[in-house]
Amino acid sequence: MVYKEVVNLLKSRIGSPGRAVGDMLPSEKALAELYNVSRNTLRKALKVLENEGLIERRHGSGTYLRSKQFQVSVTHMDSFTEIARSEGKKPTSQVLRFELQSASQEIAQRLKLAVGEPVYYAKRLRHIDNVPMQVEETWLSVNRFPDLTVSHMKNSKFSYIEDECGVKIHGCYESFQPVLPGAEIAEMLHISSRDPVLRMETQSVDEMNHPVDFSVLYTNAFEFQVKYFLPRKMSPTSD
């Protein structure tokens, strides 16, 4: 097991809800035995976490949790940009591809278009405080959003849709699935191709429940963790 895999295992461990800032980690010996690696490999992994500011190693005392990777609780729909800014973090988007395509059968069905209609395709690498968090592929109708540009995609897609186009986003349908990333996704997210990522399909809709966009996202689950709170709709009870 290479040290990068140990780094991700440790991040998963310290990012769990049961861990709090200030908690002491198990000893180097215990962690090395737990992950079945040498002490040198473990120390290399700990050094990475220390350099990232996640842990603090105190001589003669032990190793303590100094900070946790990006975690947020969500109670309503927010964009990636809004989530990051609400936590005082800096979101950035690197646009890897931006082009016109003819809608495939799947994309046409997702966006309720005719097959072959023009759509924008954008591929973005999303960062929070310069840490790669998410790879996103998005499709939008050209006829509905004719003025979409690369500059818009470098910032907030939802801001363009709502503020400039006047389209109110009512909500979003989402589905989740853990998958193993391909080599390209793993390289962009700085993880091993053996580390699972969270694959999400999202479709935002307007107030008439018409599709606004369709996206496929691959999220680095070791760095970006979101906890959802979904209120239960209460129904009247009878005696």
For the chain, which domains are there?
A: 3-65 (1.10.10.10), 70-228 (3.40.1410.10)
pTM as predicted: 0.72
Radius of gyration, alpha carbons of the chain: 21
Q: How many CA atoms lie within 13 A of 81 on its CB side?
A: 13
User: What b/e sequence results for 17-44 when a residue is b if at least 16 CB atoms lie within 10 Å of its CB, and e otherwise?
Assistant: eeeeeeeebeeeeebbeebebeeebbbb
Q: In which residue are the tokens 């591809």 written?
A: 97
pLDDT by 10s per residue, the chain, length 239: 578 888 888 887 776 656 777 889 999 999 999 999 999 999 999 998 888 788 898 888 889 988 766 666 555 566 778 777 777 778 899 999 999 999 999 999 999 999 999 999 999 999 988 888 899 999 999 999 999 999 999 988 999 999 999 999 999 999 999 999 999 999 999 888 888 899 999 999 999 999 999 999 999 887 777 777 767 766 665 45
